[in-house]
Structure 1
């Protein structure tokens, strides 16, 4: 049988471990986690550009050899027209899929999730200069490229 002082010390040890674990959880959820998930600081003029830039998926784009993304190669400027909208005006569903994984540090992964149904659109806010070649997943002959550049303010 253990002496009363050793069981008392054991109880204090368990309480100390519980308090230590609780403090760690509070620190992690209150300080570390929010900072690690925070989006980078981006200038207001980039987050709210003067205008939107529209790329049309034209009627008949589903037929190989026809025009598809119009304009096919697009240049946009940060703070001017860096909010890009792909509007599907075709009778078939399409995607906007990057040729290689592309991530914007503020907006996240580039590319439509699932298909863009006829009459629907996909939009993406670019916040940093980059060049993004993309295609339609079910129709790989549909190709486009967007070039995002710094504006000269």
Structure 2
């Protein structure tokens, strides 16, 4: 039996397969990556009360001098977890993690290049963690940062 109804049935099956394929492509290519891209984070963590400034001080390039100030920083989520490194030296520097480090919301930690004199690098920490970092061209310049949960 090969009448018009079997032909219409075949077209319907093909249309169904194409529609399902398009749905799977949309789900895996657009919806799933977007839904997994960033975790849900409390608004108080995303917009802390204040930020923390870490200065790369003048003369930091000279081995033995102070470099990142404060050098061992402690920050609290919801209070000062938006951290800015500002280069106040007359030499370019970096903020480079000692080991690859990532925050589940903000992504990879570390300046994406050198910070020229006057430049800043900003990072929003959204979870408790400890980060050790250095300046790539001047490895004696080291610092650390501990992020803790606010106890309030």
> Which bin holds the TM-score, normalised by the shorter protein?
0.7 to 0.9
Equivalents in 2 of 1:119, 1:31: separation in Å?
A: 40
Q: TM-score, normalised by structure 2?
A: 0.87
How much does 1:64 deviate? 1.1
Change (3 A) 1:23 1:77: closer
Provide, for residues 84-111 of structure 1, a one-character-per-residue CA deviation record: whole Å limited to 9, x for no partner.
Answer: 1101000111000011111111111110
State the Cα distance separating 1:16 from its structure 2 match: 4.8
Distance 1:45 1:14, change over 3 A: closer
In structure 1, the partner of 2:55 is 56
CA deviation map 1:12-37 (0-9, x unaligned): 76555433322322333453232122
CA distance in 1, matches of 2:31, 2:12: 28
Report the Cα offset of residue 46 of structure 1. Answer: 1.1
CA RMSD of aligned residues (A): 2.2
**Residues 4 and 63 of structure 1: is their aligned pair in 2 closer, same or farther, counting only changes over 3 Å?**
farther
Determine the C-alpha separation between the residues in 1 that align with 2:103 and 2:84: 16
| Alpha-carbon distance between aligned partners in 1 of 2:21 and 2:36, rounded to the nearest angstrom | 20
Q: Which residue of 2 aligns with 1:32?
A: 32
Match of 2:90 in 1: 91
Residue of structure 2 equivalent to 1:73: 72
Q: Structure 2, unaligned stretches of length 5 or more?
A: none
Q: How many residues align?
A: 149
